[in-house]
Amino acid sequence: MKAVVIHGTGDIRYEEYPEPEIKPCCVKIRIMACGICGSDIPRVWKGSAHSYPIVLGHEFSGYVTEVGEGVTTLNAGDHVSGIPLIPCMHCPDCLSGNYSQCKHYSFIGSRQQGAMADYIVVPEQNTLKIDPSVSWRDAALFEPATVALHGIQLSQFTGGKSVLILGGGTIGCFTLQWAKLLGASSITVIGRDQKHLKVAQALGSDHIVSTLDSDYMQQLHAITSGHGFDYIYETAGSTAMMQLAFEEAANKAHICFIGTPTVDLTFSPRQWENLNRKELHLTGSWMSCSAPFPGNEWKMVQQFMGDGRLSVNSGMIFGEYPMKEAENAFSLYQTAGKVKGRVVLYNQD
């Protein structure tokens, strides 16, 4: 089969690769679409892959071509999306249902063969059957949609409250949609990129604020009349945004850091005092699984994407490329700020 194989830093090749064989309790999937996640970029351009050669790709969709012995829930021809986390299921964290904290996990597309290929073989439990009406592209983005919902659930979200979303990228847009579906009284998205802000507005954000405006802090204060926001979700991994969260939080507010910073992060004594003085509830969020595996995050995306309540706005997609053009697609990320949205690779039958 053909696959996108990373042999070293910046060394991307679309080439022949051993086709995986079916195993018991597993299914073989013909990959139709695979998103390029932000976490894939340093694996390609900064040498942070766990090993070489490696086939990346953990946001994927396709259809089942073969089922292994013991598989009971899927049949050849079924359309599926993939759950990339493969927990050990035996450690104390897994037995407590905290699969994202498993210390012995594997992960599709980083610790084992990923989905930027013609085929992949994965455990039955790592597939989610999808409605054929959902496009391959949209089904490939189930994973980031679950990441957004996981963060909202960890923050103990309740409706009727104000929400501030820091960053309007893919995760930010899904966080916005979930907050709206779950009954937020008002939603504000703040970010730097005008395209992202326009998409957020189209998806139903009540307010959009650009950090390029010199008075953006005053704009945020005006939205809540100085009260601050009840729920804040940082989705970009931005140092400035994480610091801003403490400033704009209401007393007793819930803050969830979904984004992962890539540079050193520090808080001034005054910023940290806000955490204490306001008695804020701060949590991180990692991956998107809960008990029973893979969790209701995945079931809700399956349901809400299937009936159209959750969607992938065309503005969330920066580009779509054939799998054989993966090198060109990845090269886009060498120019900082050029890619504004998800890039999706696809196969054709």
In a domain? residue 334: yes
- Judge whether 294 lies within some domain: no
- Domain closes at, from 266, 284, 302: 284
- For residue 349, pLDDT beyond 90: no
Q: Mean pLDDT across the chain, nearest whole number?
A: 96
pLDDT of residue 262: 82
Q: What residue type is 36 in one-letter code?
A: I
* Claim to verify: residue 56 and residue 167 sit in the same structural domain: no
pLDDT digits 0-9 by tens, 304-325 = 999 999 999 999 999 999 999 9
Q: Is the pLDDT of residue 345 over 90?
A: yes
Instruction: Give the CATH number of the domain where residue 60 resides.
Output: 3.90.180.10
pLDDT tens by residue, 21-40: 999 999 999 999 999 999 99
Q: Hey, what's the torsion of the CAs at 221, 256, 177, 303, to 10 degrees?
A: -160
Q: Does residue 181 sit in the same domain as residue 273?
A: yes
Q: Is 228 exposed, middle or buried (0-12, 13-18, 19+ CB in 10 A)?
A: buried
- Write the pLDDT tens digit of every residue in 236-245: 999 999 999 9
Domain boundary among 233, 264, 284: 284
Does pLDDT of 162 surpass 90? yes
In this prediction, residue 336 has a pLDDT band, given cuts at 50, 70 and 90, of confident
pLDDT more than 90, % of the chain: 97
pLDDT band at 337, cuts 50/70/90? confident
Task: CATH number of the domain at 207, please.
Answer: 3.40.50.720
48 token code pair = 């942070």
Indicate if 195 and 210 belong to the same structural domain. yes
Q: Is the domain of 275 the same as that of 182?
A: yes
Instruction: State how beta strands 162-166 and 186-191 pair.
Output: parallel
161 and 280 share one domain: yes
pLDDT at 263: 87
Are 319 and 247 members of one domain?
no
What's the pLDDT tens digit per position in 103-132? Answer: 999 999 999 999 999 999 999 999 999 999
Residues 30 and 116 in one domain: yes
Structural domain tally of the chain?
Answer: 2
Rama region for 341: left / alpha / beta (φ>0; ψ in -120 to 50; rest):
left
Whole-angstrom Cα distance, residue 300 to residue 302? Answer: 5
pTM: 0.96
Which range marks the domain in which residue 22 is found?
Answer: 2-141+312-346
- Please tell me the predicted confidence (pLDDT) of residue 290: 96
Give yes or no: residues 22 and 129 share one domain: yes
